[in-house]
């Protein structure tokens, strides 16, 4: 799926993956937030923030949060949802180009990295390597079933992330529906 495909889904349905109503999403969000570690967090970034449902859970725990998504309709919804938080910046753009080049203490990549083409994924990891402070945490969580719209499945993308020499694995969890890995910048 490309940017236009995501945008088409959000125009057809403002919550196409049921982020606000799904039991799966609620459970995954709770596990993801716990995997982020002990708040407060300094500067955090959420890649593929969609309509901002998880961003809303994360924002109160961050001094500064950047939420990035490529679909204009999703970003508009996220901005409305996060309007009360002056510490949140919502950016419209594709990764890795839209990642602000600053230092991060926390990176959350939930169900986004497997949509990237191999060169985009490699570039994204290079940007994160350069932007994450030593000891910064990367939380990667991806839905396990494969899909024809994704170049990678969860197992492939998580194996690739775990092989990065600049990251040390802190925790890994394989649930029936998703994989969750916590890594820290060396």
CATH number of 34's domain: 3.40.50.150
Query: Does the structure show a pLDDT above 90 at 2?
Result: no
Tell me how far apart the alpha carbons of residues 143 and 33 are, in angstroms, rounded to a whole number: 16
Question: Is pTM beyond 0.95 here?
Answer: yes
- The neighbouring-strand residues paired with 106 are 44, 137
- What pLDDT band is residue 158 in, cutting at 50, 70 and 90? very high
Considering its fold, how many domains does the chain have in total? 1
With left for phi above 0 and alpha for psi between -120 and 50, is residue 18 left, alpha or beta? left
CA angle 132, 134, 139 (to 5 degrees): 55
Please state, rounded to an integer, the average pLDDT across all residues of the chain.
Answer: 97
Contact 113, 134 (CB under 8 A): no
Question: Which pLDDT band, with edges at 50, 70 and 90, does 98 fall under?
Answer: very high
Tens digits of residue pLDDT in 21-33: 999 999 999 999 9
Give me the domain span that covers residue 154.
3-185
Instruction: Please determine, for residue 146, whether its predicted confidence score (pLDDT) is greater than 90.
Output: no
160 confidence band (pLDDT: 50, 70, 90): very high
Higher pLDDT, 146 or 168: 168
pLDDT of 96 strictly over 90: yes
Alpha-helical runs (H) found in 23-181: 23-35, 53-58, 72-81, 118-131, 154-162
Can you read off the two tokens belonging to residue 116? 């990237």
**For residues 80-97, average pLDDT:** 98
Q: Regarding beta strands 178-185 and 167-174, do their DSSP bridges make them parallel or antiparallel, or are they unpaired? A: antiparallel
């Amino acid at each position: 799926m490309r940017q236009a495909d995501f945008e088409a889904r959000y125009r057809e349905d403002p919550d196409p993956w049921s982020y606000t109503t799904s039991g799966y999403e609620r459970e995954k969000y709770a596990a993801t937030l716990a995997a982020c570690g002990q708040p407060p967090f300094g500067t955090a970034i959420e890649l593929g923030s969609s309509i901002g449902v998880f961003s809303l859970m994360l924002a109160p725990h961050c001094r500064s949060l950047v939420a990035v998504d490529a679909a204009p309709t999703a970003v508009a919804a996220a901005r409305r949802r996060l309007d009360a938080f002056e510490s949140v910046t919502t950016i419209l753009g594709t990764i890795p180009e839209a990642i602000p080049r600053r230092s991060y203490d926390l990176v959350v990549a939930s169900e986004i990295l497997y949509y990237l083409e191999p060169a985009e994924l490699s570039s994204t990891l290079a940007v994160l390597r350069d932007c994450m402070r030593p000891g910064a945490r990367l939380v990667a969580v991806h839905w396990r079933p494969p899909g024809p719209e994704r170049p990678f499945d969860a197992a492939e993308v998580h194996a690739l992330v775990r092989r990065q020499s600049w990251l040390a694995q802190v925790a890994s969890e394989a649930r029936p529906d998703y994989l969750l890995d916590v890594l820290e910048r060396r």
